[in-house]
Amino acid sequence: MKDKRVVLFTTSGADPADTPVNEWIEKALPESIRSEIQAFPLPGRFDYARLKGLGKAMIWVAAYVLRNRDVINQIRNPVDRVAKERLAPLLEYVREEA
């Protein structure tokens, strides 16, 4: 990735404005990589009812064993924060001259 313009975008059922998405990125990537990329956390969609088998079981275990109220709420209530307008900052950055 050296000398390349790299863009990281993430999506999740969590709202980036209300959750520590940047902390998740910090934990996942070393500073040597983070300092060379531009990250765009985007809100996404999560519908537990549409999951299948192992994926559904893993989410349920994580939510109830870890007592994660946000995920438990999302299991009960699908989340859809996907909107074209939210891509504007990412698209603007990509279109900029390097």
Query: Domain ranges in the chain?
Result: 1-44+81-98, 46-79
Could you give the percent of the chain with pLDDT greater than 90? 38
Q: Is 37 helix (H, G, I), strand (E, B) or coil?
A: strand
Tens of pLDDT along 39-51? 999 988 889 999 9
pLDDT over threshold 70, residue 27 = yes
Q: Averaged over 63-67, what is the pLDDT?
A: 85
Residues 76 and 49 sit within 8 Å (Cβ to Cβ): no
Q: Is 3 helix (H, G, I), strand (E, B) or coil?
A: coil
* pLDDT exceeds cutoff 80 at 25: yes
Residue 98 banded pLDDT, cuts 50, 70, 90 = low
d(CA 43, CA 82): 6
27 half-sphere exposure, CB direction, 13 A CA radius:
5
Q: Is the pLDDT of residue 23 over 70?
A: yes
SS3 6: strand
